[in-house]
Chain A
């Protein structure tokens, strides 16, 4: 026997009775608007976090370490692998994915193709990140996170680690005092680990000595002559650039300084080279891949 579908009135009456007896009421418009608002806020939040990740990534990629990477890394490939901010790239990508999810779940989000939602979220994060980078936010955020989070390695912490390696000929610290010994200019230099180094600074030029004398944190590039007696021979003194945002000009100047010093030691006007200086050995180990 065929089962007859209920009549129109049956269904209507049943539904209206259910609404009445169950005291069913339409959900308030506010709850729907609230949810929509939550989705947009989450979207905005992910865009902002993505933009911050971009700002830090730009800061990491465009600042500091690249200017004289030949001094601290064996090759450009090693430099790129070790310095590229993979953590922030990942944060950026995850945020873009969340942004796409939030946006496509808004009331009208389904109307836009995925590539448009993905593209717009990505472009907004990149544009926001570029502006934040220009405003110095990447630098501030990276530095502050390094200060307040033990596990986060800021660019400053990373640079400290790289430059506080006496065995590699790199020291980070401040000048304590200057003097002369056997007619050579010397200095006592206190490094980042509070070790006092008796440093020969006779091969530094006047600008470098001025920088050293400023009392600011300075990077020294040279060679350890004697570890037991903490003797160091300085070949170059470079400013520490992690107190404020370094400009492109600062970075270019540092690169030019290192390159010109290297040229000075490796090719003298008369075609000879200084073979008895530790600086000759140190500079001969550097391979400048551009700007020479």
Chain B
């Protein structure tokens, strides 16, 4: 079944669009242009084979795999809590979401309950991560469009969020903060105050970004009415997240199938109308405000109690118990050396990531290591929508659409 390289070349470059006569009966030549994998657009190593007729894109074939890391195979070699740092590095802008999906799947298999404080802390960090992911998206997308100064403003806010992450877990990125059963440790005393200070000023900053971009004629013309795709096509393609919400479909897993206490909070789901680039931009921008609301509500209602499950067979006992209790010592030893075992079964745990439905499939075979971990990454499925979106638009619109698609190649290639 192995196809040889010549066949690959033929398939990659095959022009699926036949040029029809244009203008005075003359046909234009079709040019196959290779964009990437190294290209000025800051969206990772995505390679696009664009078939152009003049400046108009007739077909796009994305070629991926340039940052394939074998994460899923590596995850099969590690015990469950060691998989968390590996799986976090998949979609590298939404690392808390990757960890949440995996921990949720393992918690379903173990039938373990996450205590309410753990759930609220998870939500706070998840929403901060969502804001951070949208900020990086906004900064780099504006950079692609030419509004270069947005990059510095967005990264200034991002630094504040990373300071908060560093305060709670010690690491800026890939924090390993979510563990199976809850979170790694409790937040420090000043964390809530610092988060409130951040959420107080974030809506004002988001307003400033809107002022900078939305009343600008160039941004308007580059985004408005450009590359729309209707809802039915997106649903058939399996696209979820802000791309689907931009067409008017309010599908959001935080509302439809709430997990981890999301139903305790009041927030709205921004939707668009037409599904063009402008709607995609506005939906993501509006989600920043909703995330701020969720964080404030979570801080207001943060319950007391344990932050990780008290089942000692799954979560490490607190250190002060090791001095007094023999069972705690044994549990600690077993967990650190061998890890916990998960009874055989399969679980698929979907959550709402910043780019769409992020799901984790875990198959356990009774041992201390997972038998299969698969992450259903939203960008992987969303990338299939790029080709129908950009047919018939200009090359510059392709760049803008790619920016509004928000692909993260780490998640696509895994």
Do A and B make up one complex?
no
List residues of B whose CB falls within 8 A of some A CB: none
